[in-house]
Amino acid sequence: MSFCSSLSYPNSLFLLSKTKPFSADIKPPTVSLSSRFRASADVPDFLSADWLESRKKKPFGPRLNFSAEEVVQHQLDALKYNDQPRQDYGIEVLYRFAGFDPFERSTYFGPFFDLGQFERFRRIFHHSTYRVLLGHKERKMLSSLFVEENRFKQRVWIRGSRPEEEEIFQFTMVQRVGGSWDGYWLTESLLHDGNAFAGGLAY
């Protein structure tokens, strides 16, 4: 053990002899502001110029400050311009306003349908009756009624984009009480003023 220690001791002594004593006159190196900015400029910017604005935007859907009448109007506007900014975007808006439970069969369109998947919901709007709403040319409110404090019904006449295409539909809106949607107006049902599925429906 003494032999090993005798070998290691000169090495450590040699290393110590090479170090310079601390002097108060030695100042740490300074980095100029120009070099600091130049270094930051070399870092690639992976965020687009409109990143902050895009973060602020939310998909159009229920808002706490929307009244029942406004919710109906917004949905009809979405269907009128259904394919803007992309195909069937208007139907997507209606799906966000829909008040049904996606895990249960719903009477949103009248009969019981499984609407948990958006694709099924979308197909019904392309049915021969409901397609009148897509890209419609004209509409007229026929009647509006608060049947209860938190339940609103509105009937609307629609003239479609095809010749002699017109139908009447009824929106039933419900204002939720309690839960995460407390105070929001959602669509309980959108019914055709007749038998919309007389010929059957493959959805």
pLDDT tens digits along 70-94: 999 999 999 999 999 999 999 999 9
Residue 95 lies in a domain: yes
H/E segment holding residue 99: none
Q: In the 8-state DSSP scheme, what is residue 20?
A: P
For 128-177, the pLDDT digits (tens) are 789 999 999 999 999 999 999 999 999 999 999 999 899 999 999 999 99
Sign (positive or negative) of CA dihedral 140, 136, 85, 102 = positive
pLDDT at 203: 52
Continuous segment of H or E residues that includes residue 90: helix 89-97
CB 131 within 8 A of CB 160: yes
Domain that includes residue 109, residue range: 68-192
Answer yes or no: is 151 within a domain: yes
Q: How many domains does the structure of the chain reveal? A: 1
What CATH number does the domain containing 171 carry?
3.10.450.100
In a domain, 78, yes or no: yes
pTM as predicted:
0.69
Tell me, yes or no, whether 124 lies in a domain.
yes
Q: Is residue 53 part of a domain?
A: no
Establish if 3 belongs to a structural domain.
no
Q: What is the pLDDT of residues 9-58, one digit of tens each?
A: 444 434 444 444 445 455 555 545 454 444 444 444 555 555 455 445 66
Beta strands in the chain (DSSP E): 138-148, 151-159, 166-175, 185-192
First-to-last C-alpha distance (Å) of the chain: 88
Residue 25 within any structural domain of the chain: no
pLDDT at 44: 45
Where do we find the tokens 């105070």?
183
Rounded CA-CA distance 165/129 in Å is 9
**For residues 83 and 90, is the Cβ–Cβ distance under 8 A?**
yes
List, for residues 19-31, the tens digit of each pLDDT value: 444 454 555 555 4
Rounded distance between C-alpha atoms, residue 62 and residue 116, angstroms: 18
More confident site: 41 or 99:
99
